[in-house]
């Protein structure tokens, strides 16, 4: 089990500036080893309660809230990551546990018993919570990411674009998962993640491309169409 505690800031980035900022980030930070020429794909299945309590907590701006997701980076891969992300005031706490492909396939069907085979307390916590509060698969989100890292304050900067989603199918291991765009093709989401304080050179870099801070949630984007149609 891996655990990270850090602060996060999100910004709206015009894609016209994305190449410029990627170039500048590459001169002052190390590229993530998975970047490649076009970045890398991330696909996440989000779970929520029957009455969508996690989604509603986000909409209401609750200081203490969580998201539970199953994430992979290659649909044909042999593992996925079960993650719980909790907002605790100004900080985000993320815990993650690798699970085998076959266990992940059972989780996406709403069967959480594979978690009982793990010795980590985090697995038992997820099993108890997801059963007690009736968590069910709700939406899949996919996007392309470029990431940069720096040693000081565990800084990680990511640029996410081509965000798509679906509430019709939850098989994140499918090679042919049909999804729809939930983000316009002219902007990306720039995320700055760090511990302690944010160095001035990062602040200056963000301000130089006229980014607007925002509180968008990719999970929230994935639910807007379906929930709107139900409520109306």
Q: How would DSSP label each residue in the chain? A: -EEEEEEEEEEEEEGGGHHHHHHHHHHHSEEPTT-TTT-EEEEEEEEE-TT-HHHHHHHTT-SEEEEEEEEES-TTSSEEEEEEEEEETTEEEEEEEEEEHHHHHHHTTT--GGGGG--SHHHHHHHHHHHHTT-EEEEEEEEEEEEEEETGGGEEEEEEEEEEEESS---TT-TT---EE-S-TTEEEEEEEESS---HHHHHHHHHTT-EEE---HHHHHHHHHHHHHH-
Mean pLDDT computed over every residue of the chain: 92
Render pLDDT for 181-210 as a digit per residue (tens, 0 to 9): 999 889 999 999 998 888 898 888 888 887
Q: Domain with 119 in it: what CATH number?
A: 3.20.100.30
Q: How confident is the model at residue 229 (pLDDT cuts 50, 70, 90)?
A: very low
Render pLDDT for 153-165 as a digit per residue (tens, 0 to 9): 789 999 999 999 9
Report residue 222: phi and psi, to 5°.
-70, -25
Q: Report CA 203 to chain centroid distance, whole Å.
A: 23
CA torsion angle 55 59 62 64 (round to 10): 30
- The answer to whether the beta carbons of residues 211 and 190 sit under 8 Å apart is yes
- The answer to whether the beta carbons of residues 44 and 69 sit under 8 Å apart is yes
Q: Residue 176: is its pLDDT beyond 90?
A: yes
Render pLDDT for 105-146 as a digit per residue (tens, 0 to 9): 999 999 999 999 999 999 999 999 999 999 999 999 999 999
Closest CA to 81 of 94, 91, 96, 67: 96
How many domains does the chain contain in total? 1
Residue 141: domain span: 2-231
Q: Is 171 left (phi over 0), alpha (psi -120 to 50) or beta?
A: beta
């Amino acid at each position: 089990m891996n655990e990270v505690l850090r602060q996060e800031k999100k910004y709206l980035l015009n894609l016209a500036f994305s190449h410029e900022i990627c170039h500048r980030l590459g001169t002052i930070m190390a590229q993530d080893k998975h970047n490649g020429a076009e970045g890398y794909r991330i696909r996440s299945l989000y779970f929520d309660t029957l009455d969508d309590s996690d989604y509603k907590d986000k909409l209401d701006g609750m200081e203490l809230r969580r998201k539970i997701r199953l994430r992979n980076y290659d649909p044909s891969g042999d593992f996925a990551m079960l993650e719980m992300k909790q907002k605790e005031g100004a900080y985000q706490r993320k815990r993650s546990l690798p699970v085998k492909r076959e266990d992940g396939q059972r989780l996406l069907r709403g069967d959480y018993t594979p978690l009982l085979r793990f010795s980590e307390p985090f697995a038992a916590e997820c099993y108890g919570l997801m059963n007690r509060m009736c968590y069910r698969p709700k939406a899949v989100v996919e996007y392309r990411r470029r990431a940069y890292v720096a040693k000081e304050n565990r800084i990680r900067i990511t640029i996410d674009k081509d965000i798509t989603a679906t509430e019709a199918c939850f098989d994140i291991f499918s090679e042919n998962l049909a999804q729809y765009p939930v983000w316009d093709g002219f902007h990306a989401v720039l995320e700055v993640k760090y511990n302690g304080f944010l160095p001035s050179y990062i602040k200056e870099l963000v301000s130089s491309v006229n980014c607007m801070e925002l509180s968008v949630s990719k999970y929230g984007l994935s639910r807007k169409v379906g929930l709107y149609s139900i409520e109306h």
